[in-house]
Amino acid sequence: MKIALITIHWANNYGSSLQTFASVHTLSAYGEVTTLDYRNTYTQKGMQWIRWGKKPRDILRIGKDLFRLGSRYRVIKKFKAFSYQYFKLSKRLKTKNDFKQIEEKFDIFVSGSDQLWNPLIVSEHSLIDGRYFLDFIQDKPKLSYASSLGAYQYKSQEIPQIQKALQSYKALSIREEDASQYMQDLLQKPIYTLLDPTLMLNKATWLKTLDITNTSPKTPYILVYALIKDEMLKSLVHTIRHQLKLEVISIDQDPFSNISPNKHIKDASPKDFVSLFAHASFVITNSFHGTCFSLNFNIPFLISTPPSSLNRIESLLKKLSLEERILKEKSQLSTLITEDLDFTQANQKLEYLRQESKDFLHAYLGTK
């Protein structure tokens, strides 16, 4: 079976790149997977060395990009190389004719698993991108695999478009529990809740498929991967580094770091990202995918409350009975740092959730 996957694959974003990798790997159990090379104008902007624009926010970005041009050039080059190495890409889809011709080449079309249904993520003007709803497919079956709209609630004028687009799907699955319930009420049809694809691959599979050695680092470290470094996160890093007496490695693409890490990595490839998580002694994050990789590799972790989309992290951790790892009050910190985190129960629950996701895919994709 020839499977076409549409997702946010062309982006300077670790979560997007690695969920695409994991989606391709998981779907490959059911056929030959091709990632449709559709590059959304807004999400692909991060793959430009300098993000040009005329708005005040764009001017600040241009200055930031110019200041860090060397590391930005290196990291974008690595993201592009990762995409070409690990994703079997279709020809570039740009025109209406490109999209019209693609239908005859595949047996089934799958949308997932990033926030491709969230207008705030895919459009500068918060507009729905119909391509991510497979609106160009008329006669072939369509499937949603752990798609996401984050915490977005559709406006009244958007609802008819969403209903029309998704009623033609063979089956629908979403990544977050609350979003699944919301969409089920909206569409009046069953919505399954599935794992993010990055969680479908266990540690051994991640290391093997990316050819990462499973050896301990010479110097143990705390890994910090944070989307926003607010005062709570800075305080968290300061306290934990002194209590655990470990060096701090920070992954981000900012020109400077306000948490004073021992090592600030600004040009990590997606493979480097996975390796750094696999070998960490402790993780501090406010990212959903930072949470996913901490769980995958059984690394003790703490979540500093993220600035938005906490529902994604809470939904996952509640299923694994680890929601106490979200730090909401500083008074919790001392206990959570010293607590011997046993992943046994969480791993069992995670394996059960993996099987549920496999059952969904098997039901609608069958076997090779």
CA distance 180 to 163: 14
Q: Which two tokens stand for residue 95?
A: 């025109």
Residue with tokens 């979200």: 326
- Whole-angstrom CA distances from 334 to 11, 190, 284, 302, 329 are 38, 43, 14, 12, 11
Q: What pLDDT sits at residue 315?
A: 84
- Work out the pLDDT band at 368, boundaries 50, 70, 90: very low
pLDDT digits (tens, 9 = 90+) for 52-92: 777 777 777 777 778 788 899 999 999 999 999 999 999 99
Q: Are 1 and 179 in contact (CB under 8 A)?
A: no
pLDDT digits (tens, 9 = 90+) for 154-213: 999 999 999 999 999 999 999 988 999 999 999 999 999 999 999 999 999 999 999 999
Helix (H, G, I), strand (E, B) or coil at 326: strand
**In order of start, what are the domains of the chain with their CATH numbers?**
2-200+352-365 (3.40.50), 203-350 (3.40.50.2000)
- Sheet strands (E) in 73-187: 89-92, 108-111, 142-144, 173-174
Q: What pLDDT sits at residue 311?
A: 78
pLDDT > 90? residue 333: no
CA distance 285 to 278: 14
Closest CA to 17 of 114, 127, 140, 146: 114
